[in-house]
A and B are shown apart, each in its own frame.
Chain A
Amino acid sequence: MMMFASDGFLTDNSSSTNTGQTHVFTSFPNSAVDVDDEHSGNKTINQSDSNQYTLPLPATANETTSEQYHLWQIEYYQKYFQVDTRQVVERLIGSITPRPNKSYFDSTIRQNPDLYGPFWVCVTFILTVAISGNIVDYFHKSATEFQIDFSKITLSALLILIYWWLMPTAIYFFFRWRLNRIEYTFLELLCIYGYSLTIFIPISILWIIPINWLQWTSTLIASIISGSVLIVTFWPTINSDHKRFSALSMLIILFVHLLMALCIMLVFFHVSDKNINPTTETTTVFTTVLSTTPK
């Protein structure tokens, strides 16, 4: 006779043996365990403490084993965000301390490139540049003239995002066509370049101080430090073959890095001796130049 068992499922109690057409649910697969339980939460914490280099899984890890995610589902992109706070801090510190023999890329990023660090470093850089540019305008113009300039956010976003995507694209194609192999995946290049912008965040706050030589020297020092981290990362690959290109390509990388920093400094922060206010629209730049020449 069919009746409802204690666990809520319809079972056939008339025959003790399973006669093929009735299925008795007496066991449950592991995926039915609720991953939000305290027990499973403690389990992942213990795992991360025991072995320093195993990466703790995100909370939805148990459900990703057998499913293929599509481009429009957010779980598809979760594989680029498998990092912890400690790892991100490690990579940030590695990107501002150039060490001649050891590439921080090999030791930290290579086995697990992520998109969290580069993206939020870029966004922070964009915001600090825009806010600091507005602060410079605030102290420079009188109280009646100053307006919060939203176009600074869009301009700095354009410059920085173009740099962050352009250089990895160029280097990726350089490696593919010239050297005929893919030494670094595009994701790893994005990672390297994203983290290399870390040092410019405090520098962009330093750029507010309107002392000319301070702005130039801080730009140079910051570009040299982060550029040397880039060089240390790329040197082993470049140097292994095509020795003619190695020094030249290193110089080009350093030069473009310096160019980016100088561009941002001049557009947003530079206070020259003639007290020409840096503005973001070319027409107003022309009118101020024309108006100040009679002096």
Chain B
Amino acid sequence: MNNDQNSFLPSSQPIDIIDGNITSTSNQNELSTLDEPIFETIKRDLSAVLRKFSHALIPRQSLTLLQQWDLWGPLILVTTLAILLQTNTTKTSSGMHFAEVFILMLIGSIAITINSQLLGGKISFFQSICVLGYCLLPLLISAFINNFLFYLPYKSILHIIRFLIVMIAFTWTMYASICFLGQTQHPNRRILVLYPIFLFYFLVSWLIILHTHSK
């Protein structure tokens, strides 16, 4: 009894103390990234973004992509897509405005995050924006190609060619996002989680296919 009471008093019993320096080596690294030249920071972030772009183009499974998510790629790609899909809206029916692509991206990410969490997966909102944004790269390339093709003659065959190009880009995009998401889901429910992503890219593909220039 006496032993137990005294064991909680600071000065009575000898207790082995762990001593050391409070500033550990991890703090040292953070200070050094604040002090480094801007060129180093930009180079590091840019190489991370470019690495993710290459993963979107040549899909391979890697868990580190989800763990080190960033939003630069989605920002660049969605802005470019919104600019490409602009039309001159002078008629009474609404064309594609700049903000609608952003809103579509936002609603799609929210829906996919909530769906994936409800089914037991562990993806967060920013991770899903990262995946959806980076995997838009093939669709963006197809939108570029479509814009150039529009200036050629032979209109009727062009419909079919544009449709085929966008469909190829769509399958490429789906394959890339399947590889990105990897093992985050229970195997029995993988298709249930991937289906909303399919719907999202399907909608974006049709927006690209139906986009015309008004002369």
**A residues with CB within 8 A of B:** 1-4, 12, 14-15, 19, 21-22, 41, 44-45, 48, 56, 58-60, 74, 77-78, 80-81, 83-86, 88, 116, 120, 123-124, 127, 131, 134-135, 138, 143-151, 279, 281, 284
CB distance from B93 to the nearest CB of A (A): 5
A85 touches B94 (CB 8 A): no
A59 (CB) vs chain B CBs: closest residue: B120
Residue from the set A59, A81, A147 with the largest chain B CB neighbour count within 10 Å: A147
- B60: A residues at CB distance < 8 A: none
A134 touches B206 (CB 8 A): yes
CB distance from B55 to the nearest CB of A (A): 23
Cα A76 to Cα B51 in complex, Å, equals: 38
Residue from the set A74, A80, A149, A150 with the largest chain B CB neighbour count within 10 Å: A150
A58 touches B120 (CB 8 A): yes
- A2: B residues at CB distance < 8 A: 7, 13, 15-16
- B215: A residues at CB distance < 8 A: 144
Pick 24 A–B contacts, CB within 8 A, sort by A: A2-B13, A2-B15, A22-B4, A48-B188, A59-B186, A60-B120, A78-B118, A81-B118, A81-B120, A83-B189, A83-B192, A84-B192, A120-B199, A127-B202, A127-B203, A134-B210, A144-B214, A145-B91, A146-B210, A148-B94, A148-B207, A148-B210, A151-B93, A279-B93
Contact of A150 among B14, B100, B119, B195 (CB under 8 A): B100
CB distance from A242 to the nearest CB of B (A): 39
A151 touches B120 (CB 8 A): no
B92 touches A86 (CB 8 A): no
Q: Apart from A2-B16, A84-B188, what 20 extra A-B contacts exist at CB < 8 Å?
A: A3-B16, A81-B119, A81-B120, A85-B189, A85-B192, A124-B199, A127-B199, A127-B203, A131-B203, A134-B206, A135-B210, A145-B91, A147-B93, A147-B94, A147-B95, A148-B95, A148-B207, A150-B100, A151-B93, A281-B92
- A144: B residues at CB distance < 8 A: 214-215
A153 (CB) vs chain B CBs: closest residue: B203
Cα A15 to Cα B95 in complex, Å, equals: 81
**B residues with CB within 8 A of A:** 1, 3-4, 7, 13-16, 18, 87, 89, 91-96, 100, 114-115, 117-122, 155, 186-192, 195-196, 199, 202-203, 206-207, 210-212, 214-215
CB distance from B185 to the nearest CB of A (A): 9
CB distance from A18 to the nearest CB of B (A): 11
Given A2-B13, A116-B192, A149-B93, are A12 and B100 neighbors across the interface (CB < 8 Å)? no
